[in-house]
Amino acid sequence: MNPITDYQDYRQYMREFYEERKRVSDFSWREFTKLAGFSSSGYLKLVCDGKTRLSRVGAVRVAGAMNLAGYQAEYFSLMVDLCEAANDVVRLQVFERMCSLAKKNKVHVVGAEAVEYFGSWVNPVVRELAPIMPGAKHSEIAKNCMPEATAGEVRNALELMLRLGLLEKDPAGNYRQVNRWLSNGGAPLAISLQSMQKQFALLAADALDTIPKEDRNVSGLTFGADEKTYERIEFEVNKFRRTIMDIISKAKKYDRVYRLNLQLFPLSRKGDSENE
């Protein structure tokens, strides 16, 4: 099996443990459940099938049945907390604890770097600004952000992107972008992306008051549509985004950083088709 820190879904980890044992022995769900100290012979299969869940006490029992100890057992229990978290805020807090635990034990959590990068709007802005401001101090880059960031935020962003390999620094101290993908962070990454989208949505709202009209383009439509119309509009929106990405990729140089938000969302509940 892969290291436990490659996982974020405790059910997936349990199933892969079971399948690996099954390949080399007569291991069964009954035996797995018995090792964990549960009376119902099919309980752990129900857990892995998503039909029930583990409690904190149950997580400790299952960790022991899989011969997990030390930080690995604690990480497994945190995976249970992650999957069973009541909301996204709690889920992200648990994931941060998982990353902290892994770092303390000098192991890597898959997806942690992406979650860290998408945690603040400052990171992608500084990644675009730094290469076009050669020799600039942290405070100078910070003042060029809109809204203005702090020198500390810029310093942290640059250190993060150097560590992640998203920027390179030449002997003269100038930055260059490196094209690479951040590894998938699963559900925590999706939560971080939502957080960043919220941050940019708030910045867009502020731009109505702080950015001159000639320097921004903000518009919108409110309309009624059925499901087929929505699907057609969604297709066109995605097509437009790809077109914009193609235009950006062909730009040889730039002197300013922009953000384009594409937002399509309902303002009413679905109608009852039986009454239409």
- Tell me the two tokens of residue 54: 């583990």
Over 90: is that where the pLDDT of 63 sits?
Answer: yes
Round to whole Å and give the CA distance between 114 and 108. 12
Rounded to 10 degrees, what is the CA torsion of 138, 144, 147, 151?
A: 10
What integer best gives the mean pLDDT of the chain? 91
Return the pLDDT at 141.
Answer: 96
Tens-place pLDDT, residues 176-224: 998 766 655 666 777 778 888 999 999 999 999 999 999 999 999 999 9
CATH code linked to domain 4-105:
1.10.260
- Do 33 and 22 meet the contact criterion of CB atoms below 8 Å apart? no
Tens-place pLDDT, residues 120-152: 999 999 999 999 999 999 999 999 999 999 999
Q: Model pTM? A: 0.70
Phi and psi for 177 in degrees, rounded to 5? -70, 145
Over 90: is that where the pLDDT of 240 sits?
Answer: yes
Rounded to 10 degrees, what is the CA torsion of 64, 66, 71, 74?
A: -60
> Shortest CA distance to 174 belongs to which of 139, 137, 149, 207?
137
Return the pLDDT at 235.
Answer: 95
> Shortest CA distance to 224 belongs to which of 271, 275, 272?
271
Would you list the domain boundaries of the chain?
4-105
Return the pLDDT at 72.
Answer: 96
> Shortest CA distance to 68 belongs to which of 90, 92, 35?
35
Over 70: is that where the pLDDT of 275 sits?
Answer: no
Over 80: is that where the pLDDT of 256 sits?
Answer: yes
Tens-place pLDDT, residues 90-122: 888 899 899 999 989 989 887 788 888 888 999
